[in-house]
């Protein structure tokens, strides 16, 4: 799969604040990536660096495999990192035509992109008459005018009512289904879970998790197990149908589930194989809980 953006060991310091710490991420064509983290975790700073509006302190990023200069590469990127700002007394159509002129896109893109965001019937309304949700949708249409390879959105649903949130999420899904790669920053676990295929979880600039969304939110939960002989324990569980994967962590075996399995059942299963546990804990949604706790502190 084609690589759109590679970030390697990126760091950003604002004086004493280490806002981004050794962040790495590889963005492949066609996926939807979320950067998830509470306020102040370094999401906007990371986006600002790759969009060349914030200077990095150290580390690297490469657009499209490093085959072109950043300013050339950014012509193939659509980004909304600030509150949408258009001319209030101009219509949606007029505002987007102006953007076409600046970006060198054809005017017939305007209707196509207004359609994508559900604003075609409001093309002749003045920008100042738009709700916040409509303004945000117009900004998305604007970012799409030059058919970018990737669309970057920073907190796209902030400040919107539930209906507005729903519309934006549906639009993002539609755009993704048409093959545009998406990178969005959000402090909402729910949003990332609903919209993204991959996620980078940040806390105080550091990566807590990086990978598929499915892997982060394991619905069935996981076990922490210990016995006298960990290898024996691992091989006993190797072919258990409910087990997704196993990892050794600090002397404990962490067993991730793909289907429901109760503590008493795994215990019985092991006893029947002559294995006696000295530690058995079942946990659920650990990262989700951790994430929500972090968010609530702010
Ligand atoms: P997020 O987007 O996840 O809310 P930010 O990237 O905006 O987080 O901020 C990360 C950290 O960097 C915060 O501690 C913030 O206060 C700090 N920060 C961001 N921009 C600046 C700046 N221009 N000057 C100083 N500190 C900044
Ligand atoms: Mg931010």
Q: In the prediction, which pLDDT does 22 show? A: 97
Q: In the prediction, which pLDDT does 113 show? A: 97
How many whole angstroms from its chain centre is CA 150? 13
Distance 191 CA to ligand 1 centre (A): 21
Distance 26 CA to ligand 1 centre (A): 22
Question: How does pLDDT run across 7-22, given as a tens digit for each residue?
Answer: 999 999 999 999 999 9
CB of residue 45 inside a 6 A radius of ligand 1: yes
Distance 220 CA to ligand 2 centre (A): 32
Decide if pLDDT at 207 tops 80.
Answer: yes
Domain locations in the chain as residue ranges: 3-216, 219-296
Question: How does pLDDT run across 124-170, given as a tens digit for each residue?
Answer: 999 999 999 999 999 999 999 999 999 999 999 999 999 999 999 99
Class of domain 3-216: alpha beta
Nearest to 7 by CA among 48, 75, 62, 51: 62
As a whole-number percent, the residues of the chain with pLDDT over 90 amount to 80
Dig out the tokens for 206 from the structure: 């550091």
Q: Which residue has the higher pLDDT, 89 or 194?
A: 89
**Contact in structure between 1 and 29 (CB atoms under 8 Å):** yes
CB of residue 38 inside a 6 A radius of ligand 1: no
Decide if pLDDT at 193 tops 80.
Answer: yes
CB of residue 44 inside a 6 A radius of ligand 1: yes
- 219-296: which CATH architecture? 2-Layer Sandwich (3.30)
Q: Mind spelling out the 3-state secondary structure of the chain?
A: CCEEEEEEEEEEEECCEEEEEEEEEEEECCCEEEEECCCCCCHHHHHHHHCCCCCCCEEEEEEHHHCCCHHHHHHHEEEECCCCCCCCCCEHHHHHHHHHHHHCCCCCHHHHHHHHCCCHHHCCCEHHHCCHHHHHHHHHHHHHCCCCCEEEEECCCCCCCHHHHHHHHHHHHHHHHCCCEEEEEECCHHHHHHHCCEEEEEECCEEEEEEEHHHHCCCCCEEEEEECCHHHHHHHHCCCCCEEEEEEECCEEEEEECCCCCHHHHHHHHHHCCCCEEEEEEECCHHHHHHHHHHHHC
Nearest to 37 by CA among 28, 52, 25: 25
The closest residue, in CA terms, to atom 19 on ligand 1 is: 45
CA dist 269 and 245 (Å) reads: 17
């Amino acid at each position: 799969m084609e690589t759109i953006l590679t970030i390697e060991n990126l760091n950003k310091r604002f004086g004493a604040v280490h806002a981004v710490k050794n962040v790495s991420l590889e963005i492949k064509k066609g996926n939807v990536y979320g950067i998830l983290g509470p306020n102040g975790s370094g999401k906007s700073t990371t986006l600002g660096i790759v969009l060349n509006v914030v200077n990095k302190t150290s580390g690297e990023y490469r657009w499209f495999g490093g085959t072109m200069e950043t300013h050339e590469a950014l012509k193939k990127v659509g980004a909304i990192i600030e509150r949408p700002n258009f001319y209030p007394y101009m219509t949606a159509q007029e505002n987007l035509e102006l953007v076409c002129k600046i970006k060198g896109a054809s005017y017939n893109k305007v209707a196509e992109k207004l359609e994508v965001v559900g604003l075609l019937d409001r093309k002749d309304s003045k920008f100042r008459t738009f709700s916040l949700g409509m303004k945000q949708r117009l900004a998305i249409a604007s970012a799409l005018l030059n058919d970018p390879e990737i669309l970057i959105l920073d907190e796209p649903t902030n400040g919107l009512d539930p209906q507005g949130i729903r519309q934006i999420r549906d639009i993002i899904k539609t755009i993704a289904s048409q093959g545009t790669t998406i990178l969005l920053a959000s402090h909402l676990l729910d949003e990332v879970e609903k919209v993204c295929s991959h996620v980078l979880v940040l806390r105080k600039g550091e990566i807590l998790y990086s990978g598929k969304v499915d892997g982060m939110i394991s619905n069935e939960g996981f076990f922490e197990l210990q016995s006298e002989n960990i290898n024996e324990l691992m091989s006993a569980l190797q072919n258990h149908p409910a087990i997704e994967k196993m990892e050794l962590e600090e002397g404990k075996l962490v067993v991730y589930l793909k289907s429901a399995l109760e503590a008493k059942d795994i215990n019985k299963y092991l006893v029947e194989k002559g294995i006696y546990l000295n530690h058995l804990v079942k946990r659920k949604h650990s990262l989700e809980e951790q994430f929500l706790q972090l968010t609530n502190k702010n």
